[in-house]
Structures are given as C-alpha cells and as structure tokens.
Structure 1
C-alpha cells in the first residue's frame, strides 16, 4: 500500500515539472507579457497551473486565441502565443502576425539583420513569442523566415509530459498523434513521446523489463535509449513498462464499451478529463444525418435547453464518478438513481426536526448534502442522455459486434451494417462497425465500393477521401477505382473454384493465441432486465466485462500474463506465438520471448535470474496512438485481481467515434 501511494504521488509530480518548464520560458521573456491561448489548450493547461500562478510569472492578461480576429498590441507589450504543433495552426498564426506587424516592427527586424542591436530594437524584435506544444519542428523556422517574420518572432517548445487525470490514468492530451502516425505515416510526434517517457523514468526509476509490441513502440524505445543515461532513483517504483501500438489492438477502440466511463465518452466531448453535459448537442447528434435527427430536435424544442454542466472524471473530485467509473452502465445508472432517492428522503427529514436540530443540520450537514445533490443530478442527467442517445440501437449493435468478433456470416453482417447506415445515419459509428468487420473477417474491395457509394450518397461525395485515409491505417482495404473492373475479373473466376475461402486475419490469429475472445454477451443499457444483471455478475469475473463479456483488451491480457508468469518458460509459452513482441532488459539488445527463455536456460545473463516473477507488481502501460476507458477499466480489474497497480497512459483518451473522426478533413 505504501508503494502504491508513493508511486501515485510521484506521478502527480509531473505537474511540478511542467510548471518549472513553463516558468523557465516565461521568465526568459522580458517586458509586459500577455498570453494568448489556443482554445484547445485551456483545459489541459488548467492541470498544470492556475491563472493566478501565471500572473505571478509576469502575465498581465490572458486571452483566447481567435483565428479570425487578432488582439491589438501596444508598443511596450509582448504577446506570447501558445498553440499546438500542427502545420495548419502555425501557418494561420503566421498569416495573422504578417497582417498585424507594424512598419516599426519590420524596420527593427531589418536593423537587427544589419547589425543594429540597441535596447529599443531588441525589445521590438522580441515583441512576439510562439510556444509550440509539444515540439517546435525544424521546418517551423523555415516557414518563419519565408513569411518575413524571422527575428521578429521567437519560437519556443513546451511539453507538459503526462497530465494526471485520475488514479491510474495519465494522458499527454495530444489528439493528433494517431492521425500523424497511422493516417499520414508521419513519425514527428515520437520524439516528444520519448522525452515524456524519459521524464517518467527520471521520476520513478528505470524498470528491469520493457515489453514492446509494434513498430512505433520499438522505435520509441530506441529513441529513449538514444537519449542516453540520466539521473534516476536507485530503486525503481515500476516493475515493468508495456508499450503497445494502437494498430495492434484496434478492436479495443472500435467496440462499444459497456462501462460507465466508456459510455460517457461515447456521447459527450471530453477535454483533459472533463466532459461537458449538454442536452442540445453531443457526439451522437453531431454525427447523425440531419434528416434523421429531426424527430429528436422537434421533441427537444418544446422545452427550454438546460444549462450545460460538466463532470470531472476524477475519483478524488467526484466520489460518485469514483464509485461507478468502471462498473457496468446498467449497474452504475441504478446506483445513481438510488442515491438520488436517498438524498430526497434525507432532505424530507427537515420537516420532522425540532428547531435546535434544524440549526445544527443546516450548519453542518446541509452544505455537504447540497454539494452531493448537485453531483448526483449531473450524473443522473448524464446517464439519462446516454440512455436516450444509445438505447435504441444498443442491444442490436452489441449483438452485431459479437457476431463480427466471432466471424458469423460475414455477408449478413455487411448487410446489417448497410441497414444501420440507412436507418440510423451515423457518420462515424457506421464506419466504425465496417472497420471492425474488416479487422475480424475481411472486406472485399467490391463490397467496400458498394458501401462507399451508399455512404457518399448520404453524406456527400467529398467524404470519399475518408476511405483512403482509413485504408492507410489498415482499418479498411484499398478502395479500387472503377477503371480496374477488368483487372478484377480473374478474381471472380477464382472464387468459383472449390478452394478454401476462409483466411485468418492477423487480428484473429493474435486474438486466438492470447485468448482475447470470450463468447458470452448479453445485457441492456438501461439495466431493466433482472436476467441481464445476473449475467453481468458472472461477466465481471473477467476483464471482458468492459465489452459486455465479448472481448478482453490486449493491454489487460499482457498485464495479466506478465503478472502471472513465474518463469521465462511460462512467459515464452504465452507470448512466443505472437509475432512482433519484444523484451528489452536493461541495455541488452531486444529479445523475442522465446530467445529470452533460451538465454535464461543457458544462464548467459545472470541478471535475468530474479526477473520473473516480478518483484515489483507495479506496471506502466503506454498505448501509442490513444487509449480508451474500456482498456483502463480492464487493467484496473486485473490490478485488483492480482494485487498489483497498473497505470495506463497514452497521448490521448478517446472513444471509437473519435478514432474514425481523425480520418475526416478538418
């Protein structure tokens, strides 16, 4: 227990490190400073520092950056822009600064180039600063020079590393990593991820074992090793680190979760561990075809729209969320309703109290009850909206996903997805089911063409590029153009021959080897059925309960295997069949599980003798490309079952619709 508290406090120390980094940048800039923040950075920055802290560091005013309207600058002021390290945002800001730079500023830039460096010129030249989160790429300097602002604008980079969202949950709040790595094959975000993992090992020590699965994970670890030695605690707080690529377990991000925190993200937008509850707009309504959403809008137009509220997804700030975050949604919503009734009965006691008792009650208990009532109402409102948005198709989608995982009648599944596209008209979630079908059973290019034609007829032919983007990430097959119809004729002829048509996909092979598939799923989102509740109880004996008992997330299974393995042979027996898994021990070259077991038998490396079973049962899991709350919930289940502590970290936390939305043009 002491180790758990120590590790948790050290992970919260990322905030202090992030503050020191930001302070070093702000204090290096002289003059009266004004901070202009990109709106997407406001919520994450609140986890790093407060507005009062920024004012102590010399920031006089804080503005929200508007790409359409520039904030005027006084001569003696310094404008500091903080933006994300994306090309489009950086170019838009440079265009804005080009339009607002005064002739005096440009003249001072020329004087600086020709050798003048008096005090007045230096103040004018550094009138604009841009802090790029998390990296300042080399081509940013080139763009700065091409725009004529070199010397007038100074660039900085700032990485807040990991943000502590909740116990066992860390996020870097970098939403474009999946898009860069898997859709664009752009590895520029990897150095920032490696730097953050380096800070982790400076804080918590270097683990004896690192397990990687995927090309980006291996490349990330190579970068980490290239950074060289660094001061770290003599005693590590982490037993092992597991780094997994997102594309090695797409299923965990595409399946619909059944737990409370996962379904909250399915419906509501999340920013840095906080969701906004709005009755008028949410993820489901925003992606639904407008014609099909007219009924919902007409029913909602009779009542006045409720004021938007928010829920902090942090168990320390919200005990109701902490009690229900990883429970099945039906169980969690029932508990929230029961708490609401209990609070109502508590308030009714006031009418039966004497005057003295009432004074004491109002002074001591009423403020706490009022605060609790507000939290319960927020959760009650959120669960009702989730039920309203998902209950219509929840059981059908759950059954469809189970059949997809088990590869039951692929053509029937494809026709059901087509039917959902027409009847439900969801822009992202229908594509999500199609990607899951391709992952588990495979889709022919001809079938994809038919679906793409129907999809574009509904949402517009400008969305055709989305299918190419998803094919880049391996979520769909390449979309063949119509001119290749003649080249597909031999394929149709071969299909008539008596050859075996079934071909196991990589997902199915790994899922069978690691025993990820579980064939028992039932339950409803509103939990009204008593039989469903009894099913839930039996499912919650396995990490697959996060997906209604159908699938175990890969990272949770890796953690379970690592914590259960008592010898190198046992680890090799469970992981050697999975191609791409590598073990890294201290500074030795990477080994496959089988090679590791062979070395252990030959006693070629004495340091491996005490490695398994793990002496420290604290694991750190990092998913490259985004993680889900279903994975976090499954890892939390494994940690409680094994008497360990598992921390799940990633560049961002998202739902399956968010992953598909990355493929759409911004």
Structure 2
C-alpha cells in the first residue's frame, strides 16, 4: 500500500489528540471512563500521554455505585452520547446540588465536566438544567473521527449508530459522521466522483456540502472515487456466515476496537444459546486474565498472513506454524555453548513472542470449530435461501434449528435472510414467532417489531382466527420479487449469474470450497464459499472497470436509490449521469484508489472481498464504517431497544 496514504490514515490519531478537550481543562484531573470507550481511546492516546495532560487517575464508570469526589480534583466523565447513560450519570451527580461552595460559585463549574462522544445534543443541556446541575457541571463533545484498525480498515467506533438509524429512525448522529468524512477530504483530498446508495448515504453528502467548501490540499487527492453505501442496501453480506478467518473470529468473539477477547465460556455463540441446550464443553474454562488477539497485521503477523484466507486453510497454516516453531526450538540441543548464548540473546525472545501469538490463534481456532459445529449445514441452508430453493422446506429447517440449536440471535438471522431473499408471509412469521417466544419467553415479542422497523422482517400482525379460516380457502398469490432479488440479478451478486468482468470460481475452486478447503481466490464470492459477492466489492469492480460514463450508466441504470455526485456538481441518477457531466473524461478513473464507507456497520467479508478486487485490479481500496459488526450483532441490537 502507498506509504503516503498509509501515513495519512494513521495520522488521524494525531488529529484526535489535538482535538482532545482534555487538554483545555485546567487543574489536576481524574478521568472516569464509560467501559465501552476504554479500548477506542487507547487507539487515540496512551496512559502516559494522559498523564502529561494532567490526568492523575483513571477510573471505570460504574453506574451502580455511588460516585466519589475529591475537592481538589477536577472530575471528567467521558460517556457515549446516549440518553440513558447521561440520565444515569446526572442522577449520580445529584449530591452536587447540596454541596455547592457558597464563596466561589465558579469553582464548581470547573470541578465536574462531562464529555459526550461524539456529540452533545441540545436536549442534553435541557436535561442538565432539569436536574438542577446547570452551572455546576459543564458539558462538552468530542469526536475522535476515524480510528486506524488495520491496513485498509478504518472505523469511527460508534457501535450504536445502526440502532439509531435503522431501528429508531433517529438521524441525529449523522452530522458527526459527516464531519469525520469532511476531515478525511481535508486530509486526503476531494474525489472527482462519489457514488451513494441509500437515503442515509445521500444525507451524508448533503451534510458535508452544508459544512462548507473543503480547502484545496497542496498534494493531489489520494482517492479517485468514494462509495457510500447504506447497510440496509446489502443486509445479505452481514446475515450470511463468512468463510474467512477474520470473519469467523468476529462471529464467535466479542470485538472491542479491533481486538477480540478469547473467552471459552462467554463467547457470542455460547452466550446466545439456550442454557438447556448448551451441553458440556470440551474446552477448558478460562482462568485468570483473558487472552486477546489484536486484528492488526502489523502487530500480529499470524493474523496478517491469514486474515482473509478461507478458515480451513488459515487453521491449517497456523498448525503448520506450530510444527515449524517446535523444530526451530529443537535446534538448541545441537548448538555449541557460544552459539546457544547468541541464539538465546537475539532470536529466542522473538520466537517466544511468536509462540505466544500462535498459541492464541490455535486456541481461538479450536473454539471457533467447536462453536460452529454445524457450519457446513448452515452454509448449505444459506445457499438454498439465496437461490430461493423450496421455501416450505427452508421454513421447516429454520424452525427445526430453533428447537435443536436454540440460538437467540442466529435463528432470527436465518429468518431475516429468508425474508430478504424470498419473502416471509405474516402468517408464516406468526407461527415462527410463537415458537420463538415459547422457547425464549414472550417478552421477546417486541423484537420482531424492531426487526420489521429495520426492514429485516414483515410487520407481525395479530392473529385472527376468522380471517385465517377465510384465507385458507383462498388461492394464495405468488410472492413478488424482493428488492434484494432484483438488485442481486441486476448487479450479478449471485455467482450463478456472475458478471463477465468478474470471473466466477472455476469448477475445481467451487469443489474445493464445498469441501471446506481453500480455493484459489479469483472471485470476491470466496468470502461466502463462492455463493454471493458483497455489494461493496461489486460496485468497486464496476467502477474500476468502467471505461466511460455511458458504460457506467448502463451498468447501474436500473438500480433505485443510487446517485452519482461529480465534484462541484449536483447529484444525478445513473440514467442522467452521462448527460449532466461537467468533466466528460472522468472515466476511466485516472486515480484508481477507492474509499468505501458503509453506513451502519461493515463486516470482514466485505473488507476481504474489496481487498481481493483491489489486488485483481492493481488498485487500493480502503473500507471504513462506524463500526465492525457480525450478523448476530445486527440482530442483538434489536434486543437493546
């Protein structure tokens, strides 16, 4: 990857440090952090940097305990911009209203500060006044913008954006995202062409324009085009189970700002499973401190070598690494004393560090294999759902998995995928919802309404026996083509209708994928075992292969909700794009680096597919989002509302 661009993306850390409000608050300070902000903040600054800025002590915010205060310390609370968290904190700060110094009212103003990440909304100030803390507590906002997680991977680390936009219909978080994207334009230059797909993506471009003209950088732009895509335009990439190493790690383990925690007893699969069906685990429970793997190829070469490989190939390579390490350590037996001293001093520490990394990956692979025991059956079922093979049988299998496997989120995930690809009737949903509530409790009934709000399920209608009897005597109409099916066919996302300029896997490759072995990566669909191409990767491929505006317009003409924005021009639909161009020779792209932003959470399958497109076309593609999420995380978000 280009060193200049890489350094610029890593430079977001320095920008975030310069913006840190902590520097402008005087005095000896204590920092009380919401636990969810600790890991992202570590990417921005270190503990030693905080000490240089006057932070004496750092605590975790515990909403269940009474807050402690020292009169000679400035107390700074850093929380996410969530209404519930702020209300809880204000209740804990209520004693301040009784302990206000009479001789110096201004002193209290400087003693307690609340920093909201990434925004401080207007109604936060109203809540502060209602709590009687106006003038005693000062509110601030802090947006750390993009966090560099790995080569070609950026994240805003705003894990609640999907809930706000798609489950609550709340767009108040979009301005802070637009500010971060505008900062990226200031650092890397404004692209000649921006492609947006979805209402939120279009709003982001409008917000960036309303923030004012971006100053022209002294150096040429680093990206030839931007792609901004709404999550709901490609739910399939999140709902399908990935086949690559990084994707499956995220399916099983919790991710915290680019770092997964290897927990045998409390991973994602085990925690969502009905306790009655969990059974006895062969894995030893964790004792002491939990191990973690940082998903950064520069920090962990084992992860870097295997992150986008098929899981079967990656786990085999990790085991081969163990054998080579053991052979390397056996060389000590044949060494002379002088050679041994030199080996121990220079090479052994590196080997010891590498051994620890390999053991962590071995442990993680074993847990993934055990937790996804029915992985092949699951992928076969997902392939049938994608191709709409026997809807009745698919509904029966999902219902059977609910009973035998008992997974709270992943069962609903399959049902959402079926509705997306083939459609689920309200009567069919009623039956499945009844069985689901019998399994997990009727308090979960509201989850179906939340998923319907996000467009993942139909609206759950109340049961009416009379109408059901009448309907049973009427011929049911055939299901109409879903929006997913229409766009998948037009954009050739299913490998059964693969595009000519995006070669499909060879017969041998498809057979290798089917048997769980690594296939030669010649098509982005390898991330899903050769069944589906992520939308982001396909749009990148179309954009990079377009030789003229007319060719691009013809490829994208039938896609509703897609807009093209020329630098300095008005947005246009693909049909009118060629006629409204101010720069006729904008295509083919002279600068072939692309920036992709997914509104509502990206996943490693998309990132790996874009990485393959970049390698096949000799370009660079940087993927960014507000958070990195697995499919179960999207479903779990509906339970938090």
Q: TM-score range by the shorter chain?
A: over 0.9
The answer to whether structure 1 residue 495 and structure 2 residue 475 are counterparts is: yes
Residue deviations 1:406-454, cap 9 Å, x none?
A: 0000010000000000000000000000000000000011110110111
Tell me the residue number matched to 1:230: 214
CA contact (8 A) 2:243 2:311 kept: yes
The answer to whether structure 1 residue 360 and structure 2 residue 345 are counterparts is: no
CA distance in 2, matches of 1:73, 1:593: 60
Tell me the residue number matched to 2:247: 262
Report the CA distance between 1:519 and its aligned residue: 4.2
User: CA 1:535/1:655 → structure 2, altered by over 3 Å: closer, same or farther?
Assistant: closer
Give the alignment partner of residue 489 of structure 2, picking from 491, 512, 517: 512
Paired residues for 1:539-550 under 5 Å: 540-550=521-531
Residue deviations 1:583-620, cap 9 Å, x none?
A: 001221111112012335xxxx2xx2221010111110
CA contact (8 A) 2:109 2:135 kept: yes
CA contact (8 A) 1:278 1:308 kept: yes
2:149 aligned counterpart, secondary structure: strand
Stretch of structure 1 that moved more, 536-545 or 241-250: 536-545
Give the alignment partner of residue 166 of structure 1, picking from 146, 150, 156: 150
User: CA 1:305/1:34 → structure 2, altered by over 3 Å: closer, same or farther?
Assistant: closer
The answer to whether structure 1 residue 399 and structure 2 residue 397 are counterparts is: no
Deviating beyond 6 angstroms after TM superposition, the runs of 4 or more aligned structure 1 residues are none
CA distance in 2, matches of 1:14, 1:349: 45
Root-mean-square deviation (CA), in Å?
A: 1.9
The answer to whether structure 1 residue 375 and structure 2 residue 357 are counterparts is: yes
Paired residues for 1:118-517 under 5 Å: 120-234=104-218, 235-296=220-281, 299-300=282-283, 305=287, 307-390=289-372, 392-482=373-463, 484-487=464-467, 491-495=471-475, 501-517=478-494
1:101 aligned counterpart, secondary structure: helix
Stretch of structure 1 that moved more, 138-147 or 231-240: 231-240
CA distance in 2, matches of 1:285, 1:237: 43
User: CA 1:657/1:91 → structure 2, altered by over 3 Å: closer, same or farther?
Assistant: same
The answer to whether structure 1 residue 640 and structure 2 residue 615 are counterparts is: yes
Report the CA distance between 1:490 and its aligned residue: 5.9
Paired residues for 1:587-666 under 5 Å: 587-599=568-580, 605=582, 608-665=583-640
1:244 aligned counterpart, secondary structure: strand
User: CA 1:8/1:578 → structure 2, altered by over 3 Å: closer, same or farther?
Assistant: same
1:622 aligned counterpart, secondary structure: strand
Stretch of structure 1 that moved more, 405-414 or 25-34: 25-34
User: CA 1:150/1:307 → structure 2, altered by over 3 Å: closer, same or farther?
Assistant: closer
CA distance in 1, matches of 2:287, 2:75: 38
Residue deviations 1:138-183, cap 9 Å, x none?
A: 1000111111111111000000000000010000110110100000
CA distance in 1, matches of 2:216, 2:439: 56
- Normalising to structure 1: TM-score of the pair? 0.92
Tell me the residue number matched to 1:57: 53
The answer to whether structure 1 residue 573 and structure 2 residue 558 are counterparts is: no
Report the CA distance between 1:628 and its aligned residue: 0.3
Tell me the residue number matched to 1:86: 82
CA contact (8 A) 1:182 1:472 kept: yes
Report the CA distance between 1:491 and its aligned residue: 4.7
CA contact (8 A) 1:539 1:549 kept: no
The answer to whether structure 1 residue 19 and structure 2 residue 4 are counterparts is: no
2:99 aligned counterpart, secondary structure: helix
CA contact (8 A) 1:627 1:653 kept: yes
CA contact (8 A) 2:262 2:290 kept: yes
CA distance in 2, matches of 1:590, 1:220: 13
Report the CA distance between 1:537 and its aligned residue: 5.3
CA contact (8 A) 1:252 1:630 kept: yes
Residue deviations 1:495-524, cap 9 Å, x none?
A: 25xx6x141100000000000002499xxx
CA distance in 2, matches of 1:536, 1:247: 31
CA distance in 2, matches of 1:316, 1:665: 35
CA distance in 1, matches of 2:289, 2:80: 30
CA distance in 2, matches of 1:152, 1:598: 59
- The gaps in structure 2 that reach 5 residues or longer are 499-509
Residue deviations 1:79-112, cap 9 Å, x none?
A: 10000000110000000101x326231x65xxxx
Paired residues for 1:517-556 under 5 Å: 517-519=494-496, 531-532=512-513, 538=519, 540-556=521-537
2:280 aligned counterpart, secondary structure: helix
- Normalising to structure 2: TM-score of the pair? 0.95
1:495 aligned counterpart, secondary structure: coil
CA distance in 1, matches of 2:161, 2:292: 26
User: CA 1:491/1:241 → structure 2, altered by over 3 Å: closer, same or farther?
Assistant: farther
Tell me the residue number matched to 1:525: none
